[in-house]
Amino acid sequence: MKKKKAVSPMVSTVLLIMIVIILAIIILLWTRGFIKEAITKEINGNKKRVNEYCGLISLTAIVNQDNTFGFENNGNVPINGFNLKLVKTGSGSSEVIEYGQSDGGAVNPGMLINAIEDIDAIETDGDGYLQYSNYESIKVIPVLLGETNSGRQTFTCPENTALEI
């Protein structure tokens, strides 16, 4: 009989373990791109994912005598900004206007926006404010500010948590 040389069981086991570890690292790095980093927010010592605070937002609609509109933040969740989803009367076409912190979109608890200024100048009566009667549907979609490992980041709440005026 001829003696054949082969890899010892110890070396083959070490090689198999190294191959499995290398494959696990490759899969981990590849899947990291698919997973979003969690955005968290802390209010009164409670730290949660920011999307959990979307359901706790309490807004009240305001429609003024001069046909302008706004809302009040009655809850305890500060809003960093908001998006307005406007559906025009008759045409059914919609438009979303983003109001960030620099546009006066930040609304702390207890504060209100009595009349929403039109930053895009689309449908106003000349005074620069959006008019309630020009739209079939108006939704106020809150935007919250949270923290990630890389810094502050905004989060737009889902439309089903929006205030319909």
Whose tokens are 């005074």? That residue is 127
Q: What is the mean pLDDT of residues 98-127?
A: 70
pLDDT at 26: 93
Residues 30, 42: Cα–Cα separation, whole Å: 31
Phi, psi values for residue 10, rounded to 5°: -65, -45
- C-alpha 123/C-alpha 154 separation (Å) is 27
Domain 40-164 carries which CATH code? Answer: 2.60.40.3970
Q: What is the Cα–Cα distance from 114 to 57, expressed in whole angstroms?
A: 18
Where are the chain's structural domains?
7-36, 40-164
Q: What's the pLDDT at 15? A: 93
Average pLDDT over residues 82-110: 79
Q: Which is more confidently placed, 64 or 6?
A: 64
Residue 21, pLDDT above cutoff 90: yes
Residues 28-51: tens digit of each pLDDT: 888 877 777 778 787 878 888 888
What pLDDT sits at residue 126?
Answer: 55
- Pick from 139, 164, 146, 157: nearest CA to 57: 157
Higher per-residue pLDDT: 132 or 120: 132
Q: Are the C-beta atoms of 156 and 48 separated by less than 8 Å?
A: no
More confident site: 108 or 82: 82
Task: Read off the pTM.
Answer: 0.69
